[in-house]
Amino acid sequence: MKAYMYDNVPGDQRLPHDSGREVTASDLATIGVLYRRLAETSEVDVLAAERGYKNRDEIVVSPEKMGDVYEDKVKMFFNEHLHEDEEIRYIRGGQGYFDVRNKGDEWVRIQLEKDDLIILPAGIFHRFTTDESNYVHAMRLFKDEPKWTPLNRAPELDGNDIRKEYVGQYLS
């Protein structure tokens, strides 16, 4: 895992956009983002049991696997959004970027590769993209039935109970 402030320079979202300003795992933890490096899926099983996760699936984000919908899907994942559930992703292969908003509402880019696991708290604004390789294989963990419901950032989300809880716990 490598994390840093996003440079906000226009251009392909799949480029590194590295500002040169490092962000540590401890910095991420202050906004509720947790990182682990897990070499074995048995370690993921332990974490899933500890956190009450019962289901999982795997997704390969690549032009070869997704065909004609790849570009549209990558653009959709890159729309700033939040979820009302915690989000856990374990990278099985390839690389990708999760961008999260920090306390100053600036983007932090988190580069993940094989064996990296990230936990995003419910209510945090974030987005995802592959890197220039256009390939990432990820395991997604779910407490109940697999679902992925993004709520795109909009002013009315300020009143969302999950968002308010996140802001109260991490941003105030």
Q: Would 130 be classed as within a structural domain?
A: yes
Q: Would 68 be classed as within a structural domain?
A: yes
Binding-site entries for Fe(2+): 81, 83, 87, 126
Q: Would 46 be classed as within a structural domain?
A: yes
- Give the pLDDT confidence score for residue 40 in this predicted structure: 95
Where in the sequence is the domain holding 135, given as residue range(s)?
2-147
pLDDT > 70: percent of the chain? 99
pLDDT tens profile 30-79: 999 999 999 999 999 999 999 999 999 999 999 999 999 999 999 999 99
- Give the pLDDT confidence score for residue 143 in this predicted structure: 87
- Give the pLDDT confidence score for residue 161 in this predicted structure: 97
- Give the pLDDT confidence score for residue 137 in this predicted structure: 98
Residues with Cβ within 8 Å of residue 51, at least 6 apart in sequence = 86, 88, 141, 143
- Give the pLDDT confidence score for residue 144 in this predicted structure: 83
Q: Would 170 be classed as within a structural domain?
A: no
Surface-to-core class of residue 121, CB atoms within 10 Å of its CB (0-12 exposed, 13-18 middle, 19+ buried)? buried
Q: Would 73 be classed as within a structural domain?
A: yes
Q: Would 29 be classed as within a structural domain?
A: yes
Binding-site entries for Ni(2+): 81, 83, 87, 126
Q: Is the pTM of this model over 0.75?
A: yes
Binding-site entries: 81, 83, 87, 126
Res 149 pLDDT > 90: no
Looking at the structure of the chain, the number of domains it has is 1
Whether residue 97 contacts residue 131, with contact meaning beta carbons closer than 8 Å, is answered with yes
What CATH number does the domain containing 41 carry? 2.60.120.10
Q: Would 37 be classed as within a structural domain?
A: yes
- Give the pLDDT confidence score for residue 68 in this predicted structure: 95
Calculate the CA 34 to chain-centre distance.
11
Helix (H, G, I), strand (E, B) or coil at 51: helix
Average pLDDT over residues 122-147: 93
Q: Would 42 be classed as within a structural domain?
A: yes
Among 69-73, 91-95, 96-100, 106-110, the range scoring the smallest mean pLDDT is 69-73
Whether residue 61 contacts residue 130, with contact meaning beta carbons closer than 8 Å, is answered with yes
Res 148 pLDDT > 90: no
Res 114 pLDDT > 90: yes
51 to 55, 71, 73, 111, 159: CA distances (angstroms): 12, 33, 29, 24, 27
- Give the pLDDT confidence score for residue 145 in this predicted structure: 76
Confidence of residue 153 (pLDDT cuts 50, 70, 90): very high
